[in-house]
Amino acid sequence: MLVEIVQQRVPTPKWVKDILKFPLAMNAAQSYVAKHVGELDENGLRLFLRFCTGADLLFGKNITVTFIETSKFQSRPQANTCGCSLMLPVNDQNYPDLRSDFNAILNSAVWVMDIINYSVGCEGFLRF
């Protein structure tokens, strides 16, 4: 029974794209994220989910995508695993840059987890 539950939670590109929630104002980077997710294999999808949510299986939570201003030095995808949010720099103006940034993070063997505990809850920021 547990095996069946886990098998039902294995990510697919369509399912992961469906749980991405973007801001109302459309921009090109939204299509870049969806395109990148669509090109990931099962292992890549698991890494993407782990980066954004802390879990490598789907558990019904949406991933809120926001676009943030960063310096060139800090220009990289960031995630808040407590809030299931993905923060992308507005500096990534084209698909190859976004794909390269994600591939560098997802294929890295080292992720840094910064946790700040507030009285109203925790904020976990996962960054490369």
Enumerate domains of the chain plus CATH numbers. Answer: 2-127 (3.30.2410.10)
- Tell me the whole-structure pTM to 2 decimals: 0.78
**pLDDT recorded at residue 108:** 83
Please tell me the predicted confidence (pLDDT) of residue 86.
Answer: 92
Cβ atoms 89, 67 nearer than 8 A: yes
Identify the CA nearest to 77 among candidates 58, 55, 50, 40.
50
Strands 63-68 and 85-89 turn out to be parallel
Give me the pLDDT at residue 37, please. 93
All residue ranges of the chain with pLDDT < 70 are 2-8, 26, 73, 91-92, 109-128
Residue pLDDT, tens place only, 100-117: 888 888 888 666 665 444
Contact 40, 17 (CB under 8 A): no
* Cα–Cα distance, 127 to 76 (Å, whole number): 8
